Amino acid sequence: MKSLPLLVCVVILAGGCAARQPDHFYVLDARPAGARESRTQFARQVTLRVTVPSLVDRREMVLATSGGVTVLDHERWAAPLADLVTATLGQDIERRRGDVVVLPRSADQAQIPLTRIVIEIDQVTARLGDQVLVETHWRVTDAQTGKVSIGREALSSSQRTQNHSDVASALSDCIALLADRLVREIPAG
């Protein structure tokens, strides 16, 4: 009889584990959608360094609430958010400028001009039923001439998010808007 209460506890604990909520994983998508042609010649190389606030640079999706944030344990990014933003922004820039290759670091090709872009995302605000807002500033440096361009902007998605997948899509839209802004700062070949 002493083992009966123990058995009941084990069954209850096992039932709690079985009812575990599944995790959902999200990525950012380059805009515009569609495959890019493979190229072997470039007129300019670009390096990107992106920082994201530690509040949102985590595996879990973070949504703003009135007076705080909610960390969603089961709605997760497939990689660190800073990595996703960097990769997506690089793809977005390449899709807008066919003469540019974006690399994690310089390929040290002396004959190919280098532009360094440093982006600091100051804040990402996402909430269901509203637009996603990204506040950022950047520094674009032409390594050849030393010319520096500095900018700051608040970018918001055009769509109102209805679910967590919409949050990822809206954040992708904001990154695309940032790419639109940055390609104007990258010198020609």
Query: Is the pLDDT at 170 greater than 90, yes or no?
Result: yes
Look at residue 101 and tell me if it is in a domain.
yes
Burial class (CB in 10 A: 0-12, 13-18, 19+), 158: exposed
Q: What is the CATH number of the domain that holds 80?
A: 3.40.50.10610
> What average pLDDT is seen over the chain?
88
pLDDT band at 20 (very low <50, low <70, confident <90, very high): confident
Q: What are 97-129's pLDDT values in tens digits? A: 989 999 876 666 667 889 999 999 999 999 999
Look at residue 155 and tell me if it is in a domain.
yes
Look at residue 156 and tell me if it is in a domain.
yes
Look at residue 116 and tell me if it is in a domain.
yes
Domain of 80?
Answer: 43-183
Look at residue 26 and tell me if it is in a domain.
no
Question: Which pLDDT value is given to residue 188?
Answer: 84
Look at residue 174 and tell me if it is in a domain.
yes
Question: Which pLDDT value is given to residue 142?
Answer: 93
Query: Is the pLDDT at 79 greater than 60, yes or no?
Result: yes
Average pLDDT over residues 142-170: 94
DSSP-derived letter for residue 158 is S
Average pLDDT over residues 41-48: 89
Look at residue 109 and tell me if it is in a domain.
yes
Look at residue 140 and tell me if it is in a domain.
yes
Burial class (CB in 10 A: 0-12, 13-18, 19+), 34: exposed
Q: What are 52-74's pLDDT values in tens digits? A: 999 999 999 999 998 899 999 99
Into how many domains does the chain fold? 1
- Burial letters for 86-121: b for 16+ Cβ neighbours within 10 Å, e otherwise? bbbbbbbbbbbbeebbbeeeeeeeeeebbbbbebeb
pTM, entire model: 0.85
